[in-house]
Amino acid sequence: MANLDRRAILALSLAGATGLIGSAQAAPAGYPDGYRDLVAQAEREGSLLIYSIMSPENWRPVIEGFNKVYPGIKVETLDLPASRESFERYLAEKSTNSRTADLIATADPGGWIDFQRRGEILDYASPEAKVWPDWSKPFPGLYTVSSDPMALIWNNALVPEAKRPKSFADFLALSLANERPWKNKITSYGAHQTTFGYGIYYAFVKKHGDKAWEWLAELAKVQPRFERSGGPMTEKVTSGEYAAGWFVSAITFWPRLSDPARAKILGWSFIADGQPVILRGIAVPKGSKNVAAAKLMLDYVISEDGQRAFGRGGLTPARPGIQPGEGIRHTYSSIASLVGEQNMIYIGYDEDALRDYDAFLVRWKQTFNIR
């Protein structure tokens, strides 16, 4: 297969594997008796190829846990640079009967909607599905890997403790109070730059309606500078080039807080009046070669153990009931308990977002005087 230079091969040695050993005679507790046949088929397949936008470090704890249960299955992940590329690559390879993904995991709601319309999602009913809420299972066979929050961030030296925001309304008031010194010194994703940013703002506006457009118009007075990813936002807020940022990917800056010096500089908060969370989807595509192995991995990543593993890998477990601890900073349940579940904004699978894309961007550009 071409372009394997970016492929992260994360396979564990069978020697020394501990815990429950997957075999034709074993299945996870509570799974149907016939599941052992699926395990046997997956062992005969022997390998699994995953396309995702997650890094090898995100996947490492997951693959380690999976291979403790199923040591005979070699797991290979391809970390692609853009959300939509997982689908584009799969479709191109399938059209030429080339080897392609057995499992896809990516944060691209519009891409998943199009993939479902094409009939490319395998309708697989996981034994784990019954514990997941409806919002996390938008289409038959599509499940949620994580619910990663957007947050407010700031440079502690530039924002007094008493003024640090806890909501979007707070952030707006703080920015307007510092309109002159903060001009060109606040940041976020641009809806006009990435589908990721577009999805955040579309969902935020859908929740708050005209009030959201009024807030954004006020914020535009400070002349924000937009970035395409959370890394530059975090670095520039830390250095003081930016004073603060809104709707910044928490899973981008949380790992940086492990540095004590940086943690003293960088402050952050969830968003009490509307907390966006990005839903990362996972599904078995119909062109999968190793379908049984893909099903086993899907079941594992949405199980409690798999969700905890992704949490240790830096994502935000979405499975209800999982709490922080043991290397997990936050979970869907802990965020919902802090801001109120009614204030969660799902950046998910809203077909209206596809329909309204052009009109929304026209208004967005007008609001921020972008040509």
CB atoms within 10 A of CB 356: 15
The stretch 291-309 carries a mean pLDDT of: 98
User: Closest Cα to residue 81, out of 56, 60, 103, 52?
Assistant: 52
The stretch 193-202 carries a mean pLDDT of: 91
- Give the bridge partners for 226, in sequence order: 188
The stretch 318-338 carries a mean pLDDT of: 95
Identify the pLDDT of residue 371: 87
Cβ atoms of residues 156 and 265 within 8 Å: yes
The stretch 220-230 carries a mean pLDDT of: 95
Residue bearing tokens 């954004």: 216
Q: What is the largest CA-CA distance in the chain?
A: 69
The stretch 102-131 carries a mean pLDDT of: 95
How far, in Å, CA of 85 to CA of 207, rounded? Answer: 29
Backbone angles phi, psi at 6, to 5 degrees: -95, 0
Identify the pLDDT of residue 10: 43
pLDDT band at 119 (very low <50, low <70, confident <90, very high): very high
Pairing of strands 266-269, 225-227: unpaired
On average, the pLDDT of the chain sits at 91
The stretch 254-269 carries a mean pLDDT of: 94
Residue bearing tokens 């976020």: 188
Identify the pLDDT of residue 238: 97
The answer on pLDDT for 82 being more than 80 is no
Please give the share of the chain, as a percent, with pLDDT higher than 70: 93
Residue ranges of domains in the chain, CATH in brackets: 4-147+279-333 (3.40.190.10), 148-277+342-367 (3.40.190.10)
Identify the pLDDT of residue 30: 87
Identify the pLDDT of residue 293: 98
pLDDT in tens, 137-185: 999 999 999 999 999 999 999 999 999 999 999 999 999 999 999 999 9
How far, in Å, CA of 231 to CA of 14, rounded? Answer: 36
The answer on pLDDT for 292 being more than 70 is yes
Cβ atoms of residues 109 and 279 within 8 Å: yes
Cβ atoms of residues 105 and 50 within 8 Å: yes
Nearest-Å Rg of the Cα atoms of the chain is 21
The stretch 351-365 carries a mean pLDDT of: 95
Cβ atoms of residues 155 and 243 within 8 Å: yes
pLDDT in tens, 14-32: 333 333 444 444 678 889 9
The stretch 276-280 carries a mean pLDDT of: 95
Identify the pLDDT of residue 217: 98
Identify the pLDDT of residue 26: 66
pLDDT in tens, 44-70: 999 999 999 888 999 999 999 999 999
Identify the pLDDT of residue 196: 85
Q: What residues contact 150, with CB distance under 8 A and at least 6 apart?
A: 200, 246, 247, 248, 249, 250, 271, 275, 276, 277, 278
Cβ atoms of residues 233 and 226 within 8 Å: no
First-to-last C-alpha distance (Å) of the chain: 41
Cβ atoms of residues 76 and 317 within 8 Å: no
**Between 348 and 68, the higher pLDDT residue:** 68
User: Dihedral sign, CA of 257, 260, 266, 271?
Assistant: positive
Identify the pLDDT of residue 194: 85
pLDDT in tens, 87-112: 999 999 999 999 999 999 998 888 99
The answer on pLDDT for 8 being more than 70 is no
